[in-house]
Each structure stands twice: as C-alpha cells, then as structure tokens.
Amino acid sequence: MRFISLAASALVFLTPSLLVAAPGDVAGSKDHPLLKRYEGSVIVRYDHKAYDEDTLPLGKSNGMKLADSIPVEGEVTQLAYSVPPGRSPLEVIRNYENDLKAAGYRCCSPGPRPKAWDMDSRRRPSMRHRRTWKTRSGSWR
Amino acid sequence: MKLTRQEGDVHVTLFAMSAYRDDDGWKVKKGDTILLAHVTVSKPMEKKLMKVPGGRNGDHDF
C-alpha cells in the first residue's frame, strides 16, 4: 500500500517535464501523469475537468447499457489516442494491462469481451475489449 | 461488485477498439486502433463560492 503511494508520488514529481504535447496531438492536450502513452500514438481527443462525475463500468455491457457500474467523482481526464497502424486493440490493451498490474492496480472488471455495439450505437466504433482498473490505495499527490 | 471509495483513489477505464469508418473529426481512418482512457482521481470538490458584498452570504453581514 505504502509502496504504491510512494511510487505514484514519485511519478508525479519526475514526469511534469515530460508531460508535453507530442507532434500531432490535439491542441491543449497532454498525457495524464498516471497513464503512459503507447509508443507512436497521438491524442485525438482530450478533456479535463477539475471536478466531475464519471461512470465506472464494473460488468458486461449490453449495447449501451452496463450490467453494473458506479459513479465516481473527482478530477476527470478523458483521452483518446490514435494508435499507429498495425497495432491491434488486443495488443494495446495487453500492454496497458501488464503495466497497470505492475503498478499495483487491480482489475475491477473481469475483462469481458463485449460484442460490438448494437444498433443504438452505430455511430461509435465497435468495442473490442474493455478493462477497468482501480488502485489498491493511491494518493498521487 | 462493491468498491470502497476514498479520497486519492484512482480509477482508470480503458477502451481499445477499431474504428469502423473514417472520421475527420477524430482524424482517424477505418481500421485504425483507438484507445479511450478515462482517469478519475477521487478528491473533494474545491469550494469556490465567493462572498458578495451586500449579498446573501449566510452570515448576514450586510
């Protein structure tokens, strides 16, 4: 527990100079200090709120409806990365899965592979994989 | 699943997917891999309400 907190704190202090927008990133965006960037990817969407509510999915999705979820409040950062060609969603999610596990996060969702979004969500890309993570402890300040 | 929540908790939700069509707004092409990430750090809301001279400030100091 303590180790995770210290590791997170160190991360925050060591990385601010690295948190700059890369070429191709959408204006005003930057990486989150707690989430690494997949090599070669660019930020195509970015939103940050000092205090907001977000939905934490905890179960499978049935179309646009989640079987189980809880609202969480706090500082919310939403990022969308476009990954270089030739990299599958599975490869990307496995990279993050391994990294987050190593950083002390635990998975809240068992990792269902939901089917593609139903007709109500035709405008969205089909979802391939989803994982939800949460730290064991983890003040990052 | 129940979660105990406390200040400082970090929640990371990741969605990796393949774009099914070109999207100029997102600057992605059909077949591109996209990663959506939501990072929420639980923390108390900052109190930002300011006292207004002559206004209704609760302590009726006008």
Count CB neighbours of A26 within 10 A: 15
Mean pLDDT of B43-51: 86
pLDDT the model gives residue A59: 74
Instruction: Determine whether the interchain pair B33/A88 forms a contact, defined as Cβ–Cβ distance below 8 Å.
Output: yes
Whether residue B19 is predicted with pLDDT greater than 70 in this model: the reply is yes
Q: How many structural domains compose chain A? A: 1
Whether residue B34 is predicted with pLDDT greater than 90 in this model: the reply is yes
Q: Is A56 left (phi over 0), alpha (psi -120 to 50) or beta?
A: beta
Whether residue B59 is predicted with pLDDT greater than 50 in this model: the reply is yes
Reported ipTM: 0.77
pLDDT the model gives residue A10: 37
Establish if A141 belongs to a structural domain.
Answer: no
Please tell me which residue of chain A has the smallest CA distance to B33: A83
* DSSP-derived 3-state class of residue A94: helix
Instruction: Determine whether the interchain pair A35/B12 forms a contact, defined as Cβ–Cβ distance below 8 Å.
Output: yes
* DSSP-derived 3-state class of residue A129: strand
Place of tokens 């989430």: A35
Of B8, B16, B43, which is closest to A89 when you measure between CB atoms? Answer: B16
Report the distance separating Cα A27 and Cα A23, nearest Å. 10
Report the distance separating Cα A35 and Cα A23, nearest Å. 18
Q: Is A9 left (phi over 0), alpha (psi -120 to 50) or beta?
A: alpha
Establish if A116 belongs to a structural domain.
Answer: yes
With bands split at pLDDT 50, 70 and 90, how would you rate the model's confidence at A5?
A: very low
CA distance A125 to chain B (A): 5
With bands split at pLDDT 50, 70 and 90, how would you rate the model's confidence at A30?
A: very high
pLDDT digits (tens, 9 = 90+) for A63-91: 677 877 888 889 999 999 999 999 999 99
Domain that residue A68 falls in: 2-135
Residue scoring higher pLDDT (B55 or A41)? A41
pLDDT the model gives residue B46: 87
pLDDT the model gives residue A139: 37
Whether residue B48 is predicted with pLDDT greater than 80 in this model: the reply is yes
B3-8: long-range contacts at Cβ-Cβ below 8 A with a sequence spacing of 24 or more?
Answer: B3/A56, B3/A58, B3/A70, B3/A108, B3/A134, B5/A72, B5/B42, B6/B42, B7/A139, B7/B42, B7/B43, B7/B44, B8/A137, B8/A138, B8/A139, B8/A140, B8/A141, B8/B41, B8/B42, B8/B43
Establish if A99 belongs to a structural domain.
Answer: yes
Establish if A140 belongs to a structural domain.
Answer: no
pLDDT the model gives residue A72: 86
pLDDT digits (tens, 9 = 90+) for A7-22: 333 343 444 444 567 7
pLDDT the model gives residue A56: 83
Residue scoring higher pLDDT (A90 or B24)? A90
pLDDT the model gives residue A101: 86
Please tell me which residue of chain B has the smallest CA distance to A139: B8
Three-state SS letters, A44-85: EEEEEEEEEEEEEECCCEECCEECCEEEEEEEEEEEEEEECC
Q: Which residues of A touch B18 (CB under 8 A)?
A: 88-89, 125-126, 128
**Tokens read off for B27:** 């600057």
